[in-house]
Amino acid sequence: MEYTAQMIAEYLHGEVEGDGSRVLTGFGKIEEARPGELTFLSNPAYTKYVYTTEASAVLVNRDFKPEKPVRPVLIRVDNAYEALARLLTLVEQNKPKPAGIHSLAVLEESVRIGHGVYIGPFAYAGQNVQIGDKARIYPHVYLGDNVKVGEGTIIYPGVRIYHDTIIGKNCILHAGSVIGSDGFGFAPTADNEYEKIPQIGIVELEDNVEIGANTTVDRATMGRTLIKKGVKLDNLIQIAHNVVLGDNTVIAALTGIAGSAKVGKGCMIGGQVGISGHREIADGVKIAAKSGVHTTVKEKDLILEGIPAVPIRAFQRSVFYIKQLPEIYQKIKELEKKVEELSQK
Give CA–CA dist 319/80, Å, rounded: 35
Max Cα–Cα distance, the chain, nearest Å: 98
- With H, G, I as helix, E, B as strand and everything else as coil, classify residue 75: strand
Distances (CA, A) of 16 to 67, 75, 102, 308: 18, 5, 46, 50
Give CA–CA dist 40/244, Å, rounded: 36
pLDDT grade for 208, boundaries at 50, 70 and 90? very high
Residues ≥6 apart with Cβ < 8 Å to 207: 150, 168, 169, 170, 171, 229, 230
**Each residue's pLDDT tens digit, 236-269:** 999 999 999 999 999 999 999 999 999 999 999 9
Side by side, which strands form the sheet with 26-27? 15-17, 73-77, 57-61, 37-40, 26-27
The pLDDT of residue 93:
87
Give CA–CA dist 287/46, Å, rounded: 26
Give CA–CA dist 158/307, Å, rounded: 35
Residue 1 has pLDDT above 80, yes or no: no
Share of residues in the chain with pLDDT > 70 (%): 100
Phi-psi region of 336 (alpha: psi -120 to 50; beta: other; left: phi over 0): alpha
Crossing angle of helices 325-344 and 312-323, in 10° steps, is 50
User: What is the 8-class DSSP label of residue 297?
Assistant: B
Q: Which residues are catalytic?
A: 241
Q: Which architecture does CATH list for 101-312?
A: 3 Solenoid (2.160)
- Tally the C-alpha atoms within 13 A of residue 216's C-alpha that lie toward its C-beta: 15
* Antiparallel, parallel or unpaired: β 194-196 and 160-161: unpaired
User: What is the 8-class DSSP label of residue 51?
Assistant: G
Residue 274 has pLDDT above 80, yes or no: yes
Q: Span 3-93: which CATH code?
A: 3.40.1390.10
The pLDDT of residue 142:
98
**Each residue's pLDDT tens digit, 56-101:** 999 999 999 999 999 999 999 999 999 999 999 998 888 899 999 9
Residue 161 has pLDDT above 80, yes or no: yes
Give CA–CA dist 293/256, Å, rounded: 11
The pLDDT of residue 85:
96
The pLDDT of residue 25:
95
**Residues in the chain, how many?**
345
The pLDDT of residue 345:
80
Q: How much is the average pLDDT of 41-46?
A: 95
**Each residue's pLDDT tens digit, 125-156:** 999 999 999 999 999 999 999 999 999 999 99
Tell me if 47 sits within 8 A of 37, measured CB to CB.
no
Cβ-defined contacts of 244-248 (< 8 Å, 24+): 246/283
The domain ranges of the chain are 3-93, 101-312, 315-344
- With H, G, I as helix, E, B as strand and everything else as coil, classify residue 34: coil
How high is the mean pLDDT of the chain? 96
Dump the DSSP string for 129-184: -EE-TT-EE-TT-EE-TT-EE-TT-EE-TT-EE-TT-EE-TT-EE-TT-EEEEPP-
